[in-house]
Amino acid sequence: MTATTKPHEMLAEMLSAKLEAVDALIRERMASENAPRIPEVTAHLVGAGGKRIRPMLTLASARLMGYEGPHDEKLAATVEFIHTATLLHDDVVDESKQRRGRPTANLLWDNKSSVLVGDYLFARSFQLMVETDSLRVLSILSNAAATIAEGEVLQLSAMSDLATSEDTYVKIVRGKTAALFSAATEVGGVIAGATEAEVQALWTYGDALGIAFQMADDVIDWMEGTGKGYGDDFRECKLTLPMIRAIAGSPEEWGFWARTIGKGQQQEGDLEHVAALLAQTGALDSTRQTALDWAGKARAALRDLPEDPIREVLHDLADYVVARLK
Amino acid sequence: MTATTKPHEMLAEMLSAKLEAVDALIRERMASENAPRIPEVTAHLVGAGGKRIRPMLTLASARLMGYEGPHDEKLAATVEFIHTATLLHDDVVDESKQRRGRPTANLLWDNKSSVLVGDYLFARSFQLMVETDSLRVLSILSNAAATIAEGEVLQLSAMSDLATSEDTYVKIVRGKTAALFSAATEVGGVIAGATEAEVQALWTYGDALGIAFQMADDVIDWMEGTGKGYGDDFRECKLTLPMIRAIAGSPEEWGFWARTIGKGQQQEGDLEHVAALLAQTGALDSTRQTALDWAGKARAALRDLPEDPIREVLHDLADYVVARLK
């Protein structure tokens, strides 16, 4: 480990034995004797090497609270299955062509497989949860699954809707990202038998981390030289927090917003005009600050949890997800 | 009730108070404060008035085994939610334009809503199950959900595959229909505290009923004057049991099958030729007989269960699903 090791890499090192067991479990459980096509589809995604943030959050939370049983691995695999299932379904919803630098499953295998294999992974994730014998874990994760689906539907209906509020934005962000982060940390505490206050702190950490992470992404959409498409959210008429605040801060531009986002009629020069409005209204800076505040909330939640090297890395992780904004 | 009342109508009368409670629960639980679009999509399906066979199987099984608690309603709603979710996802998979005589949700609301609202209903169904406090019920229904998804993937990969076996066909049928039927009857017995032998008998009844039902559908695809499209499965290169047996019984027609189903190159006169082969090889008659045998297996399973008016109607239901074949 060097001084420049990133927090998620540090976590991966600290949890390496557990993560290997989780990977083995994932490979074992995604296999289907009856439908061999299933692992072909999922291997494509699981093998694409995401950062495994969500399963690490579960493993880290359980270890931080002193858990020594076998269920943390099952729950970490559960969380990764739910995440993978939502990615497969998102590909259909977004009609996206690339994910993690590779062609998405729906282009390789078509929409049908994406839908059905996603369903299969959801079902498999519930089978894994049942094996933990904890109704509370099942309740937390089925609530998270409902919040995820609601958030995605909400994002669809908020598309192009200039009346989208900051409150709606936060609900969408919880659905897209934070609900699974907070469920991942919460169940880690629950199986470890943590106190209610500790479970609550773990939930708050995961929730705030997820919101900070997604909000940072929405700011980065407007930062040049990040390797991501500049202004993609505007092109897709997605109302992220920077845009919600820019719209609120520029009532004289109502006609412009109604045309470009309400009707989706965009022309040359519009993107530059939005960038100017984001700066003039201070919308981008204030969103950056809000993301930093959420990261601070995540760090603060850790105070109520035991001192431990794992806690230090979780602390650094909260800084790391917003580090790109500074 | 008249002598011509159909068994499922009879069941609906016998269970009417329970069914009303289930409908109220479905309306309550499909509502989403955060995403009002959800009930719009589901009301379209739930309101289209299916026969409610699956929830009635759960209610009937629980009542037959003497259950008097409140969880049968939750499980009946669960089963209907899972069914509705699979219909929504099937619409995307089949690219279907009509269901129950109305335009399908994916045309009205697009594929995106079908995928996401289906996911929402899956999540809601698991929330309902958790409320029954029974890990065994959760295990049965998550296994059923996995079997359903596997069966659908299997059906996709078996499409146009002339090597599809009868064994594969039965797996597909379990996924499409029988897995949810058998889970519906099994959980009814489980919450009622039935003995293992009784639970097994309920499972066997649901499984055999579902297989007989689907097999009858696949025969009816080749019966004229039923109001369904004649030979649709052939046109879609779906290998149902009549076709699997006709292929096996006509080795001299290999070139014909390879062209029309293997490659999907169909021309005028092909449908009539298949109909002739189904008759010549005896494939249609033998499938009809196999469906009747499964209905007999369903009736036989009831022998191990308590004598009761409900049992009589379940008996008649097994006859009814294959009555169209006689």
User: Residue B97 pLDDT more than 60?
Assistant: no
Confirm or reject contact between B92 and chain A (CB < 8 A).
yes
Inspect the interface and report whether the beta carbons of B126 and A138 lie closer than 8 Å: yes
Residue A288 Cα, gap to closest chain B Cα (Å): 26
B30-74: per-residue pLDDT in tens? 887 777 777 777 776 665 567 789 999 999 999 999 999 999 999
Q: Which of A238, A187, A214 is nearest to A73 (CA)?
A: A187
Give me the pLDDT at residue B96, please.
Answer: 53
Q: Tokens 């969380």 — which residue? A: A79
Are A35 and B153 an interchain contact pair (Cβ–Cβ within 8 Å)?
yes
Rg (CA), chain A: 20
> Residue B213: what pLDDT?
96
Across chain A, what does the average pLDDT equal?
90
Distance, in Å, from the CA atom of A40 to the CA atom of A27, rounded to the nearest integer, reads 11
| DSSP result, B118-160 | HHHHHHHHHHHHHTTT-HHHHHHHHHHHHHHHHHHHHHHHHTT
Reported as a single tens digit per residue, the pLDDT across B15-30 is: 999 999 999 999 899 8
Provide the pLDDT for residue A112: 80
Q: How many CA atoms lie within 13 A of A325 on its CB side?
A: 25
For the cut 90, the answer to whether the pLDDT of residue B83 exceeds it is yes
| Yes or no, beta carbons of A151 and B122 under 8 Å apart | no
Of B91 and A47, more confident = B91
> Are B131 and A143 a contacting pair, CB within 8 Å?
no
CA closest to B124 among chain A residues: A146
* Cβ contacts from A onto B, under 8 A: 146
pLDDT at A44: 64
Cβ contact A298:A212 at 8 Å: yes
pLDDT value at residue B37: 73
Q: In this structure, which amino acid lies at residue B196?
A: E
| CB-based contact B127 A143, cutoff 8 Å | yes
Contacts of A172 in chain B (CB under 8 A): none
Predicted local distance difference test score (pLDDT) of residue B280? 97
- Interface probe for B, chosen from A120, A155, A171, A190 (most Cβ of B below 10 Å), is A120
Contacts of B250 (CB under 8 A, 6+ apart): B257, B277, B280, B281
The angle formed by the CA atoms of residues A137, A143 and A146, to the nearest 5 degrees, is 145
pLDDT for res A92:
76
Task: Report the pLDDT value the prediction gives residue A49, as an integer from 0 to 100.
Answer: 60
The whole-number average pLDDT for the span A175-202 is 97
Average pLDDT over residues B241-265: 96
All residues of chain A having their beta carbon less than 8 Å from the beta carbon of residue B31 are none
**B137 contact residues in A (CB cutoff 8 A):** none
Q: Quote the strand ranges of chain A, DSSP E.
A: 98-99, 102-103
Mean pLDDT across the stretch A307-319?
Answer: 97
- In B, residues 189-248, which contact A (CB 8 Å cutoff)? none
CATH number of B7-323: 1.10.600.10
Q: How far is A295 from chain B (nearest CA, A)?
A: 25
Overall average pLDDT of the B243-266 stretch: 96
The answer, yes or no, to whether residue B124 has pLDDT greater than 50, is: yes
Interface check A108 vs B, CB under 8 A: no
* Residue corresponding to tokens 């649901």: B206
| C-alpha distances out from residue A5 to A10, A325, A326, B286, Å | 6, 19, 19, 68
Instruction: Note whether A35 contacts B143, CB cutoff 8 Å.
Output: no
Q: CB A138 to CB B117 under 8 A?
A: no
Beta strands A102-103 and A98-99 are antiparallel
Under the phi-then-psi rule, with left for phi > 0, alpha for psi from -120 to 50, and beta for the rest, what region is B95? left
Q: According to the model, what pLDDT value does residue A324 have?
A: 86
Question: Tell me: the pLDDT tens digits for A51-95?
Answer: 789 999 999 999 999 999 999 999 999 999 999 999 889 877 666
Of chain B, the percentage scoring pLDDT greater than 90 comes to 72
Residues of A in contact with B146 (CB under 8 A): 120, 123-124, 127
Contacts of B92 in chain A (CB under 8 A): 92, 111-112, 115
Which range, A83-97, A218-232, B145-159, is most confident? B145-159
In the structure, what pLDDT confidence band is assigned to residue A311 with cuts at 50, 70 and 90? very high
Taking contacts as CB-CB distances below 8 angstroms, the residues of chain B near A92 are 92, 111-112, 115
pLDDT for position B150? 92
Nearest chain A alpha carbon to B106: A93
Kindly report, residue by residue over A224-268, the tens digit of the pLDDT: 776 667 888 999 899 999 999 999 999 999 999 999 999 999 999
Question: In chain A, which among 22-41 make CB contacts under 8 A with chain B?
Answer: 32, 34-38
Question: What is the distance, to the nearest Å, from the Cα of residue B261 to the centroid of all Cα atoms in its chain?
Answer: 25
Residue B102: enclosing H or E segment and its boundaries? Answer: strand B102-103
Contact A34 B151 (CB under 8 A): yes
Its ipTM equals 0.90
- What pLDDT digit, counting tens, does each position of A193-216 carry? 999 999 999 999 999 999 999 999
- Chain B, 244 to 273: residues with Cβ < 8 Å from chain A are none
- pLDDT tens figures, A284-302: 999 999 999 999 999 999 9
- Please check the confidence at residue A105 and state whether its pLDDT lies above 70: no
CA A177/CA A322 separation, integer angstroms: 15
pLDDT at B94 over 80: no
A148, B124: Cβ pair inside 8 Å?
no
Q: How far apart are CA B213 and CA B208, in angstroms?
A: 8
C-alpha B170/C-alpha B156 separation (Å) is 14
Inter-residue contact B153 to A116 (CB < 8 Å): yes
**Is residue B184 predicted with pLDDT exceeding 50?**
yes
B106, pLDDT greater than 80? no
The residues spanned by each domain of chain B are 7-323
Selected residues 117-156 of chain A with any CB under 8 Å from a CB in chain B:
117-120, 122-124, 126-127, 129-130, 133, 135, 138-139, 142-143, 145-146, 148-154, 156
